[in-house]
Amino acid sequence: MIEVENVHKSFGETKVLKGISTTFESGKTNLIIGQSGSGKTVFIKCLLGLFEPEQGNIKYNGRLYSKLTIKEKRNLRQEMGMVFQGSALFDSMTVEGNVMFPLNMFTKQSKTEKQERVDFVLKRVNLIDAHKRYPSEISGGMQKRVAIARAIVMKPSYLFCDEPNSGLDPKTAIMIDTLIQEITREYDITTIINTHDMNSVMEIGEKIIFLKNGLKEWEGTNKEIFKTDNDAVTDFVYSSDLFKKVRQMYIEERN
């Protein structure tokens, strides 16, 4: 669980986050949505410990980040997994090498132990025969699965995903969403996803935070977002004619 209490973040005279408070529960897929410039990226970087807020608190399973020692902060970051927007795989490394990289960097496990862990997570993301292939030799969807495997290889308590469906076709995007949600529930991870994908919002938005101009404009679930009368949320989520029709059908079915 991550608890956020009245977090403010500025750069010079520009106030980016203006007092955000919320809770991200473990075992759930928590989504952050909002227009470009709303503060989503800065908020994620605060949660990752890359930026420290000028005001407010962030607690990780009860641990107040601002009170941790440098060593404790370093250890906390090793409890975090990250899936980057472009997968961020090393082109010169095989799939196996990419997934093993965090183990080589941060653990003293034996070669056998590391190999067993790599084999396990690659199997978990349905990549059984891709160990010796390079990123350029696999599809975009497979690259995302490698990125997820790398993110969970250290058995993280917290998983951050930045636009995990970017550049994927709709069918593959749904598969990635489902995989992230399954892993979140299976390992009771606190998962936070920064996304513009409205399919993700509808499918796996167990908790949704909508940011606008550095403020938490709305929060709720994918079921509640259908019923909200918050104009800023509906204008963002139902910006296309298709989603407007879907929302209207949902309302009519419930009435």
Least Cα distance to 212 among 80, 17, 1 occurs for 17
Mean pLDDT of 38-62: 93
Confidence of residue 251 (pLDDT cuts 50, 70, 90): low
> In the chain, count of helices (H) and strands (E)?
10, 10
Better pLDDT: 128 or 6: 6
φ, ψ of residue 23 to 5 degrees: the values are -130, 130
The structure tokens 């489902």 sit at: 178
Confidence of residue 246 (pLDDT cuts 50, 70, 90): low
Give Cα 191 distance to the centre of its chain: 6
Mean pLDDT of 16-36: 94
What amino acid is encoded at 187 in this protein?
A: Y
15 touches 193 (CB < 8 A): no
d(CA 101, CA 174): 27
In percent, the amount of the chain with pLDDT more than 70 equals 93
The answer to whether residue 255 scores a pLDDT higher than 80 is no
Mean pLDDT of 211-228: 90
What's the pLDDT at 26? Answer: 95
| β 55-60/2-11 pair status | antiparallel
Q: What is the pLDDT of residues 160-193, one digit of tens each?
A: 999 888 888 888 889 999 999 999 999 999 999 9
In percent, the amount of the chain with pLDDT more than 90 equals 67
The answer to whether residue 214 scores a pLDDT higher than 70 is yes
The answer to whether residue 252 scores a pLDDT higher than 80 is no
Among 108-117, 204-213, 224-233, where is mean pLDDT lowest?
A: 224-233
| β 2-11/14-24 pair status | antiparallel
Confidence of residue 48 (pLDDT cuts 50, 70, 90): very high
Mean pLDDT of 121-150: 92
Q: What is the pLDDT of residues 95-123, one digit of tens each?
A: 999 999 999 999 899 999 999 999 999 99
What's the pLDDT at 248? Answer: 67
What's the pLDDT at 244? Answer: 64
The answer to whether residue 253 scores a pLDDT higher than 80 is no
d(CA 117, CA 104): 12
The answer to whether residue 242 scores a pLDDT higher than 70 is no
Confidence of residue 206 (pLDDT cuts 50, 70, 90): very high
Cα dihedral value 115, 86, 190, 40, nearest 10 = 160
Phi-psi region of 167 (alpha: psi -120 to 50; beta: other; left: phi over 0): left
Question: Which residues fall within 8 angstroms of residue 213, CB to CB, at 6 or more apart?
Answer: 18, 38, 39
Looking at every residue in the chain, the average pLDDT score rounds to 90
Mean pLDDT of 220-235: 85
CATH number of this structure's domain 1-79+194-255: 3.40.50.300
